[in-house]
Amino acid sequence: MSKGWIGVDLDGTLAHYDGWKGPDNIGEPVLKILERVKLWMAVDKYEIRIFTARAGVPEQIPPVVAWLEKHGIGGLAITNIKDFSMIELWDDRCVQIISNLGISFQEHAQEEIKTPEACIQRESMPAWFDEIRAERRRQDAKWGEQNHDDHKWNTILCEEKGEVSKAILEHDDPGVLKELSHVAAVAVAWIEAIGRRATREKI
């Protein structure tokens, strides 16, 4: 069974893009995304695929392969096709929609931010909050809504904490950060489940 995959767009996301200049012309890497991809590859929890329109033209794939190898991420699959194993897509042209609500995350965030104090609080959030949010989305994509009892949630959380301990013993600093984001995401999912439980009990 597939462990799921994350799609990463090429032009404009992983590589700088300022207009089409032919299949052999791929811009310099966007270092922040390149390092993120390398981290994902090192952690090896999900498969990483390059998601690009270039994959629709067979002759345009070899230059992409060469570019990936040049920048230390060779061997990744190259595709332009979604399937049911795709967990998320990183793309400069995407607009993420909240499932079943028909509104974008940006619209939802704008509704949430009502006061200057809320703006300050949101802007001061560390970048690693993005990883926690991303992991929550991956959990929902893989498992759907989870409504375990507290004993089950505690077991799941302890399993994730065990992964942190393993990464520490292996002196895997990127792995420690990644597993801590998983711990935090599980804790958030548990809190959300408690909220749903409380709402049902009031009905």
pLDDT digits (tens, 9 = 90+) for 16-58: 999 999 999 999 999 999 998 998 898 888 899 999 999 999 9
Tens digits of per-residue pLDDT, 100-152?
A: 778 776 666 555 544 444 444 444 455 677 788 888 888 888 888 889 999 99
Q: Poorest-confidence range of 15-29, 62-76, 132-146, 175-189?
A: 132-146
Where are the domains positioned within the chain?
Answer: 5-90, 125-202
Nearest to 70 by CA among 112, 26, 22, 18: 26
Distance CA 105, CA 174 (A): 28
Give the domain 5-90 fold: Rossmann fold (3.40.50)
Strands (E), the chain: 5-9, 47-51, 77-79, 86-90
